[in-house]
Amino acid sequence: MRSYPFKTLRSRLTVLLITPVVVILLTGGIWGFIHARNTMLGQWTEHVMLQLEQAAHTIEAGLSRPMELMKIFGQSGVDGTSADLPEVLVDKLRTLPGVVAVNVNWHGVPGALQPKTRHKGPSRGRFMRFHRGTFTRILPPVVDETTGEQTVSINMILMDADDTPVGNLEIVLLFEALVAHITSDPWWQNHTACIVDRKTGKMVLASGLMRGRNQLGDNGDRLEQTVKDALGEKSAGTVWGQGQPPERIAGYHSLDTFPWAFVVFADGRTILAPIIHFRNGFIIGAVVLILTIFGIIRFNVDRISSTVKRLSQQAVAIADGDYKEKIEVTARDEIGLLANSFNTMIDGLRERDAIRNTFGMYVDPDLARTLLSKPQADRLGGRRRDVAVLMADIRGFTPMTEKMPPEKTVDILNRYFSAIIPLIQQHRGIIVDFIGDGILAFFEPFEETLDTAAQRCLQCAFAMQDAMNRLNEELTQHELPDLAMGIGINCGPVVVGNIGSERRKKYGIVGSAVNITQRIQGQSRADEVVISEAVYRLIRSDVAVSRTISTALKGVASEMQLYAVYPNKESNQE
């Protein structure tokens, strides 16, 4: 039999019905959560990248005018250019917002314009001739010793026609003025943000929890280290931290003019708060839905399984012959139809068993099961077998019944048959028929030899004669006449099988051996057991002979030798 991991109907139906719901909810929930999460993170990324790009453009715009004038200054040294132009450009640079100093330094030239000039008035000194200028670097912010303010320097090298450096131009910008528009924006103040050097990761400016930090990733934060590595690969992008949803998210954007990059860190749960709330609500709703479905399934399945369980228990009771209790029908669906059909089956079995109990209790139940186990048990027809046949008859019963009421006659017969039938069944005999006060039975060898079946038949006959003594004591107590029984036994070939029609049939025997047995029974006296010579040859050592009968029986061509026998006590003792 195939074994199932779930042995009850409730567990199987629960799993079969709830599993698809769980799979659908789980699949839909995960897909929806991932889709919504990616959408919200994408929106955040677009928003932050736009803010970083705008911040970069703000700084680039603040530097555009100084850088443009410095570029013109670098080209003013070409031959043919006005000698006053460099000085005019320097004076113009000094007037720009955020510029705190413009320094021109000539290498080894006395009387030239000295560096670190801190005033914004007209320049003093003279400009040497140079061919062109080249931007070199932008220094990170430093604290000016005289003012205590952070400044940023932009340097340009001035070279002659042989590309030999002859001097340099330096513009000193106030760092606060450069980033004033950025640090005043809400996104800078509300986020953990910083400006770092792209190559080294050194902090240029920081806000929020990053204030006071010197280096990106110096605290061992994996996300910061990942951002630091990404700065050298791409000019802009986003990096997600660990977790689902990510605990933190970072966005960065590099500047074109300065070797810096803006970096913003945000809390992933804050960004994804709506989708997290939706996820939690979805989980709660899914659990409530599953529990509701489970309750509905359990309510209905319990009703079905309880009916099925009652059907199973009642089927076991019916197998034992108990037809008293029917199944209570509480539904009008298929389960109710099944219960109704089961009750109808009980009625049919009860009626059938009533017929069997009234007319068919001629065979021991165990023997009946043996007969029913044979393939031909329920088919008409038979097979030829050698069996032992027994016929018993009450001596002088007909004259006796003519002198008593019918009720007493039936009472005597009932007591007689009640005493005799169990003995035949105990010895595995098959009762073929009741002929008035006579009984016809045969003993078939199933998994044994004919002599064993004949021994059972003979032992049954002796037990029947012994039972007559106890029966007569009972009849005397009820003021009924005593009975005497004669028994005849024969063995021989007969046809054994179902005799009758498809509508009415019985398991019996047909053959001359049956007729001869009836005639042998007629030769027996009261309380005698008379056997044929064929039986005597089979059980010779088990009996003692009280008389020998030589007679010509009707239907038999030659004279037969019969033996009136009784149990051989010496043989039994052995």
Confidence of residue 20 (pLDDT cuts 50, 70, 90): confident
Q: Which of 470, 468, 510, 506 is nearest to 485 (CA)?
A: 468
- 268 CB-side CA count, 13 A: 18
Residue 114: is its pLDDT beyond 50? no
Bigger pLDDT: 390 vs 15: 390
Written as one letter, the residue type at 196 is V
Could you tell me if 138 and 153 are in contact, meaning their C-beta atoms sit under 8 angstroms apart?
yes
In what helix (H) or strand (E) does residue 302 lie, and over which residues does it extend? helix 273-319
Confidence of residue 115 (pLDDT cuts 50, 70, 90): very low
Helix and strand tally (H, E) in the chain?
16, 18
Radius of gyration of the chain (CA): 60
pLDDT given at position 117: 41
The total of other beta-carbon atoms located within 10 Å of residue 523's CB is: 16
Residue found by looking up tokens 């059972």 in the block:
456
Q: What is the 3-state secondary structure (H, E, C) of 516-566?
A: HHHHHHHCCCCCCEEEEHHHHHHHHHHEEEEEEEEECCCCCCCCEEEEEEE
- Report the chain's mean pLDDT, rounded to a whole number: 77
Confidence of residue 437 (pLDDT cuts 50, 70, 90): confident
Confidence of residue 118 (pLDDT cuts 50, 70, 90): very low
Q: Over pLDDT 90: what percentage of the chain? A: 19
- 77 CB-side CA count, 13 A: 23
Q: Which of 496, 495, 492 is nearest to 531 (CA)?
A: 492
Could you report the per-residue pLDDT of 131-169, keeping only the tens digit for each? 777 766 666 666 665 666 777 778 888 887 777 888 888
Residue 382: is its pLDDT beyond 50? yes
Could you report the per-residue pLDDT of 526-571, keeping only the tens digit for each? 999 999 999 999 998 889 999 999 988 887 778 889 999 999 876 5
- Lowest mean pLDDT, pick from 256-270, 300-314, 343-357: 343-357
Residue 148, Cβ density class (10 Å: 0-12 exposed, 13-18 middle, ≥19 buried): exposed
Bigger pLDDT: 265 vs 440: 440
Please name every residue paired with 260 in a beta bridge, in sequence order, or none if there are none. 197
- List domains and CATH numbers for the chain: 76-178 (3.30.450), 365-573 (3.30.70.1230)
pLDDT given at position 78: 57
pLDDT given at position 1: 45
Range with the largest mean pLDDT of 81-95, 147-161, 229-243, 324-338 = 229-243
Altogether, the residues listed in the chain come to a count of: 574
pLDDT given at position 165: 83
Please state, in angstroms and as integers, the Cα–Cα distance from residue 483 to each residue in 379, 416, 468, 474, following that order: 39, 9, 7, 11
Q: Over pLDDT 70: what percentage of the chain? A: 76
Confidence of residue 53 (pLDDT cuts 50, 70, 90): confident
